[in-house]
Amino acid sequence: MNTHAPVSPAEDLPGAGPGRMDPAESQRINSLATGLSVSVALVLVAAKLAGWFASGSIALLASFFDSLLDLAASVTAFLAVRYAARPADNEHRFGHGKAEAFSSLLQALLVSGSAVFLFFEGTQRLLDPRPVEAGGWALGVMVLSLALTLGLIRMQTLVIRRTGSIAVTGDRAHYSADLLSNVAVMGGIALAVFAGLERADPILALFVGVLLAKSAFDLGRESVNQLLDRELPDATRAHIETLLTDDPRVLGVHELRTRAAGPLIHIQVHMDLDPFQTLKEAHDVVVAAEMRVLEHYPAADLLIHSDPKGYGEAHGRGFFDADPEPHDGGAR
């Protein structure tokens, strides 16, 4: 019979992630973050548009379009975190959590579009350079943008540490790219205005395009992983298994399946129990295991199947079970 030391809060996994916070509290915090993001995006769109009209800087125009896409993405994230936290209903028995992943994927597509635009415009201006006018005005706009973006990223980082929201993570990816973009744009404008290097403006715009393309790829990959029900990280799975088996009456677990859906996680597992105990006793063991998991993952949806000890190994694999590791010298 397996025995396990009690799982204390100190043994809990660090950081945040899906399932670790009550959905209502997660929605409240994420809504504040995405609401502030929308407000910052609105200010930056207006300031950069005015700055471009005054200066004609292609790098500033590129930054304006990036902020315009950020505004669309931030509004999407603002709506997605509210929808994702809604409870399950008759049409969505597993809840609405994947709305956050859809929002994040849309953000990745928008960032990709921004990168393509930068590559096109930057190449055109590299071949046909134009002077940057009203450089002081343009630099003032970028200083404002830099300060607002730094503050927003700091706040988003604190929120992600608490909620692990993929929608807010996607939003932060936008603004992290913007932070580098703002520095690059300021450098391009300064070199064009004060050093007469007109091609510095489009060259740095192309550099920003590369950064945006990488950000879009990383964000899209994470979104697709969640949409395709990728398993939770190994450390999280091991922690869940430890919680499930932290009871001498639990003889083992197998066929553990996990997936994330926005702020929620779904867990399915088979639990080995004493075949000679009563149904009531088996039920009590399962409920106790559920309570241990929910203490650490309050936004988890659990489905525990009880197996009499020895039956789980004999009743064969299900359709969705992974193939076993091949034996030495043998075929699968």
Contact 67, 45 (CB under 8 A): yes
Classify residue 56 as left (phi > 0), alpha (psi -120 to 50) or beta: left
Q: Tell me the mean pLDDT in the region 24-43.
A: 83
Does the CA dihedral 286-291-293-297 come out positive or negative? positive
What would the pLDDT profile of 308-326 be if each residue is shown by its tens digit? 876 555 455 554 555 544 4
Higher-confidence residue of 132 and 41: namely 41
- Report pLDDT digits (tens) over 237-287: 999 999 999 999 999 999 999 988 877 788 999 999 998 989 999 999 999
Model confidence at 329, pLDDT cuts 50, 70, 90, reads very low
Distance separating alpha carbons of residues 186 and 177, to the nearest angstrom: 14
Instruction: Write down the pLDDT at residue 194.
Output: 65
Greater confidence (55 vs 105) lies with 105
Q: Pick the residue with more confidence: 37 or 89? A: 37
Asked if the model's pLDDT at residue 330 lies above 70, the reply is no
Summarize pLDDT for 128-185 with one digit per residue, the tens: 665 555 456 667 777 887 888 888 888 888 888 777 777 787 778 777 777 766 676 6
pLDDT over 50 at 32, yes or no: yes
Residue 254's beta-bridge partner residues?
Answer: 270
Once rounded to an integer, what is the mean pLDDT over residues 97-119? Answer: 77
Spatial distance between the Cα atoms of 152 and 171, rounded to a whole number of angstroms: 10
Sequence-separated (6 or more) residues with CB below 8 Å from residue 295? none
Amino acid identity, position 198: E
Phi, psi torsion values for 313, nearest 5 degrees: -80, -20
pLDDT 10s digits, 176-226 = 777 766 676 677 666 766 666 666 667 777 777 777 787 778 778 878 877
d(CA 26, CA 104): 17
pLDDT at 304 over 80: yes
Give the chain's domains with CATH numbers.
Answer: 1-15+232-332 (3.30.70.1350), 23-227 (1.20.1510.10)
Q: How far is CA 55 from CA 133, 193, 315, in A?
A: 4, 10, 73
Q: Cα dihedral angle (310, 312, 315, 318), rounded to 10 degrees?
A: -170
Lowest mean pLDDT among 104-113, 117-126, 272-281, 320-329: 320-329
